[in-house]
Amino acid sequence: MEENKEVNEVEELEEPGNGIKIADDVVAVIAGVAVSEVPGVAGMSGGFAGGISEVLSGKKNMAKGIKVEVGEKETKIDVNIIVEYGSRIPDVAFEIQNRVKKAVETMTGLKVLEVNVHVQGVSTVVEKTSEETDENKEV
């Protein structure tokens, strides 16, 4: 009987993910990088404090606009985005869900239960073409 008890204890120690805790910020950065690579995403929509810290530090915050809840073996992710004008929103959202789920599951081993995409706005910034800028120049 006692031999079986020792074997069971060893099996529990060798269980994958045992003793590893991944911080919410790590998952948020992984998700942020995945979102930034999706065509049609103009930017992330974060809070006022996030924008101030970006300006002061000079670094881009890859976790901006992402809220993460990490459990022991699973996670839920909320993504707040601004889409580019003319992009088909359902396609952009679907692509975000797929890329975030794949990236987070591959890199962390956590099961992604939800990727909720919240569209906070539409970017209507239009870049001027070289012809328009040439016409405005003084001769």
Instruction: Express each pLDDT in 62-90 by its tens digit.
Output: 888 999 999 989 999 999 999 999 999 99
Name the superfamily (CATH) of residues 21-136: Cation efflux protein, cytoplasmic domain (3.30.70.1350)
Amino acid at 48: F
Query: Taking 50 as the threshold, does the pLDDT of residue 14 lie above it?
Result: no
The ranges assigned to domains in the chain are 21-136
Q: How far apart are CA 70 and CA 75, in angstroms?
A: 4
The span from the CA of 17 to the CA of 28, in Å, is 19
Look at residue 32 in the predicted model and tell me its pLDDT. Answer: 94
Model confidence at 114, in pLDDT bands (50, 70, 90)?
Answer: very high
Integer Cα distance of 112 and 29 in angstroms: 15
Nearest to 94 by CA among 81, 108, 85: 81
- Chain-centroid distance of CA 133 in Å reads 36
- What predicted TM-score, i.e. pTM, was given to this entire model? 0.70
